Structure 1
Amino acid sequence: MENQFASQLKKLRTQHGWSQEDLAQKLFLSRQAVSRWEAGTASPDLATLIKLTELLDCSLDELVFAKTSEEEPRSQSRRMNFWEFIHLDWWLIFAFGGFFIWMLRAVVRIFQ
């Protein structure tokens, strides 16, 4: 993860045409801090990561994992089977079952 972050930070920084010093000034940090991040010997805290995403105009996934927004997660690229649906939405069984029983009783009362 650190190596991906380090190379991605350097790539995004150079795309903006900023030196390490420029980025450090924008974050109110030292140039050495940015240098250590790009070398992979240190990593920023969460608040600084969020500031970096705002400055570099990218998502956190793109900055940390080098994933672009065009990449689709595998879980969304395939259809859900019946058992996965039941696993995730099991509570719907009670809602539909209760509604079905209520309707069945109402129909039976009408025809009695």
Structure 2
Amino acid sequence: MIEFSKQLKKYRTEGGITQDDLAGKLYVTRQAISKWESGESTPDLNNLVKLSDIFNVSLDSLVLGIDNKSKVDSDEFVLDPVSNQYVRRYGKMNFWDFISKNSWVIIVLASLLFWASMMLH
């Protein structure tokens, strides 16, 4: 959570929010904010969600320091928390995976085969 402590302080100072102000918004003590920023402790999930809402940033950006300005297709990719990188959601896709996710291909191929068979007769 080293990135989190840096990110929290960065977003708080960029927003011109004091530790006291932030503590008031989260109903925690100023000392709790100070400990979060120094890396001595970390907030619970509820406070992480509230912080991302207060700063209007994603949890990835707040906790991991990942810049989400580049759009990632969340249908195809997911963040691997171990490597801190985006990986394919379904691993490497083979032909059958592709067909199961894109059933329209079967319809198009069947239509083309039907049309071709009609042209031959």
Mapping of residues 1-112 of structure 1, within 5 Å = 2-71=1-70, 84=93, 86=95, 88-92=97-101, 96-97=105-106, 100-101=109-110, 104=113
How much does 1:69 deviate? 2.4
**Unpaired runs of 5+ in structure 1?**
76-82
Higher RCO, Cα 8 Å, sep 6+: 1
| TM-score after normalising by structure 1 | 0.68
Higher helix share: 1
Task: Report how far residue 102 of structure 1 moved.
Answer: 7.4
Q: How many residue pairs are counted as aligned between the two chains?
A: 103
What TM-score comes out, normalization by structure 2 length? 0.64
1:90 positional shift:
3.5
Equivalents in 2 of 1:90, 1:72: separation in Å?
25
Alpha-carbon deviation of 1:66?
A: 1.3
CA RMSD of superposed structures (Å): 3.0
Q: Which has the higher strand share?
A: 2
Provide the rounded CA distance (Å) in 1 between the counterparts of 2:37 and 2:57: 17
* Unmatched tracts of structure 2, length 5 or more: 78-91
Compared CA separation, residues 5 and 88, structure 1 to 2 (3 A): farther
Percent of residue pairs bearing the same amino acid type: 32
- Paired with 2:35 and 2:46, the residues of 1 have a C-alpha distance of 17
